Structure 1
Amino acid sequence: MKSPDLFKLISDFFVKHLGSEKNVSKHTSLAYRDGIKLLLKFASKEYNCPVRELRIGQFTQPFIVSFISYLENDRGNTIRTQNARLAMVHTFFEYIMIENPSLADQCQRILRIPQKRQIRKSLGYLSADEIKKILDEIDRLNTLGRRDYLLIALIYDTGARVQEVLDLKPCDFRFDSPAHVRILGKGRKERLCPLLPETLRLVIKYIEEYDRSISDSKPLFQGKGREKLSRHGVRYILKKYVKKAGKQMP
């Protein structure tokens, strides 16, 4: 029996499984894309052949174990990242096993590779006073400062993940009482978060300053070129103000 084409399997996995059947978010799809790219590049190097010549039969249990070791030893990935990549591999081969039962033994062996155990550290938190000191360091006399102020205020007020706040659009806010914002979380699960009056005023002023409509469906937070602000951009912003505030804190 002819072995299924590797790249047809990958294409169907993204289009049919992740896209049509699971309807995963764009962020999740990109994470799978990056993981598959990394896996293919590693396979090309291990088997000393171009990516286009790779075959599904080469992706054995020992090979996947070597891939995880490569993530740890060569790339310096944390256990959390290694487990995330392995979960991606498991999802891919579970799909292959269902679609191509002839590969069941190969897939089952890969699915039996266990994730690594890790010690979960307690999450720290900032007090209201510490948040205030960080916000006080932001220069609200300029446009970017007002954007940064609202960004941090929303993260604190809603308790949302950074990516969830970056995905917010003006149309996600309800300005009538009771004011709230609709947040789309992991697994495309929606939740409504009430907003403090001061945060609501900041949102309204921000939307007006950029001459945008409350029905606008484009990202609320944008960079200098009006492109969507990235998580890396937020990390830089937070580090900058935390560093400034740290000089004022005992």
Structure 2
Amino acid sequence: MMKRTDFAVYLNKYFTIYLPNTCGSTPQTIDSYRYSFILFLTYMQERHHISADRVDISDLTYENAVSYLSWLQEARSNGISTRNQRQAALNSFIRFLMYEFPEYLPEYQKILGIPVKKAPQKEITYLKTGAVTLLISQVDLNRQNGLRDYVILSLLYTTGIRVGELIQIRIKDLSLQEPFTLLVRGKGQKSRYVPLMRSIIPVIQKYLVQKRFDKPEKLDAWLFNNHMNEPFTRQGINYIVGKYSTMARTIAPDMIPGAFSPHKIRHTTAMGLVESGVDLIYIRDLLGHVSVKTTEIYARADAMHKRQAIEAASKEIVPPEESEWENDSKLKDWLKSFNRR
């Protein structure tokens, strides 16, 4: 039998004991980190010709860490944010190893000192109210799963919840008595209550009756199931949003951007609240942001759009100005001769 390397032993401890028990990491975080190390082992095989069962703790060097992160962007075409996620997984494992292998502490400190790359701020893509109405109107309530899809889109828009939060909703998380609320399980195992709009309560109730979820024994059931009668995956929700956005785009191409996703519905909710003058603190709590700094991107985007609108409108009312120096030959001559030796 082949002897297990230290790397294999401690990676196993990291995933089975350290992350779930010591750190209390969520299954989503553990799965993301797991895939990061699949990529690291792939890198070791491709660049150093060291198979996964031969990788050792001593292979976790500063040079290999830097090379691995570069490989992610060059060979795997990973974006900066994805690269940073992989770096976070590697750093987490390094912090775990620091207490197990203090002799490698100088090398680990160098790895942890690798700066995180700054990703350029992407422009926020969101829909106007009319586009949202057009999107949701594509759902045929008379077709199989039409009511389910309608409730999915309505909840995404009216609550601004993430896809990962949507697929974790159970029947018992709904409170359909006043005040209407939904219990949402967010990132980092943090839960919050978000309000439900009165207008969608009858639709939700109708959906529960249709699926026979309106019985006490169904309280622990998932709110949304796919065609296999299993809980939805992220990909399943992405497919539903993509399907109806494509239908809406054929009607009004200018209103629905390409590659529209559930997260852009979340952006739409946030921007709608900002434009309505809702305080950022309330928006932060609704969206489940850890810091209001994250929420501020919507306020900045709103300010930018307002400025662009004002500038566009001002072109119609402000006469074009002609720079004085263009018609002042003396000034031009002075500028040309300025600081010449």
For the superposition of Structure 1 and Structure 2, which TM-score range results when normalised by the shorter chain?
Answer: over 0.9
Candidates 219, 223, 227, aligned match of 1:224: 227
| Contact in 1 for aligned 2:41/2:51 (Cα 8 Å) | no
What are the superposed Cα offsets for residues 88-133 of structure 1, whole Å, 9 maximum, x if unpaired? Answer: 1111101111333222122111111111111112322222221111
- Structure whose CA Rg is larger: 2
1:60 aligns with 2:61: yes
Q: CA RMSD in A?
A: 1.6
Gaps of 5+ in 1: none
Superposed CA deviations along residues 47-93 of structure 1, whole A, max 9, x for unmatched, are: 32321121010121111111111111111111110111111111110
Q: Paired residue for 2:175?
A: 174
- The equivalent of 1:244 in structure 2 is 247
How far apart are the structure 2 equivalents of 1:65 and 1:171?
Answer: 47
Q: CA deviation at 1:8?
A: 1.8
Structure 1 residue matching 2:225: 3-state secondary structure: coil
Query: For residues 106 and 155 of structure 2, what CA distance do their matches in structure 1 show?
Result: 49
Q: Alignment partner of 1:200: what SS?
A: helix
Equivalent residues in 2 for 1:40-59 (5 A)?
40-59=41-60
**Aligned pair in 2 of structure 1 residues 223, 122: CA closer, same or farther (>3 Å)?**
same
**Residue 97 of structure 2: aligned partner:** 96
Cross-structure match for 1:119: 120
Deviation at 1:198, TM superposition (A): 2.7
8 Å Cα contact 2:84-2:117 kept in structure 1: yes
Code of the residue aligned with 1:195 in structure 2: it is L
Question: Could you tell me how far apart the structure 1 residues matched to 2:66 and 2:221 are?
Answer: 42
Distance in 1, Cα, partners of 2:22 & 2:175: 31
What letter corresponds to residue 235 of structure 1 in structure 2? N
Using the alignment, how far apart are the partners of 1:24 and 1:152 within structure 2?
29
Q: Give the Cα separation in 2 of the matches to 1:40 and 1:192.
A: 41
After TM superposition, the structure 1 = structure 2 runs for residues 78-93 of structure 1, keeping only pairs within 5 Å, are 78-93=79-94
Question: Which AA in structure 1 matches 2:24?
Answer: N
Show structure 2 runs of 5+ residues with no match. 255-341
TM-superposed deviation, 1:248: 2.3
Greater shift, 73-82 or 212-221, is seen at 212-221
Aligned to 1:35: 36
Please, what TM-score do these two structures have when normalized by structure 1?
Answer: 0.93
Give 1:178 shift: 0.7
Match for residue 187 of structure 2?
186
Shift of 1:46: 2.6
Alpha carbons 2:44, 2:51 under 8 Å: kept: no
Residue in 2 that maps onto 1:19: 20
Q: Aligned with 1:143: secondary structure?
A: coil
Q: How many residues align?
A: 247
Q: CA deviation at 1:236?
A: 1.8
CA distance in 2: counterparts of 1:142 and 1:206, whole angstroms: 13
- For residues 57 and 221 of structure 2, the distance between their equivalents in structure 1, rounded to whole angstroms, comes to 40
Which deviations, in whole Å up to 9, do the C-alpha atoms of 1:187-230 show, x marking residues without a partner? Answer: 11111011112322222222222222465323222111112212
CA distance in structure 2 between the aligned counterparts of 1:193 and 1:18, rounded to whole angstroms: 29
Alpha-carbon separation, structure 2, partners of 1:178 and 1:170: 17
Q: CA deviation at 1:45?
A: 2.7
Alignment of 1:125-144 (within 5 A): 125-144=126-145
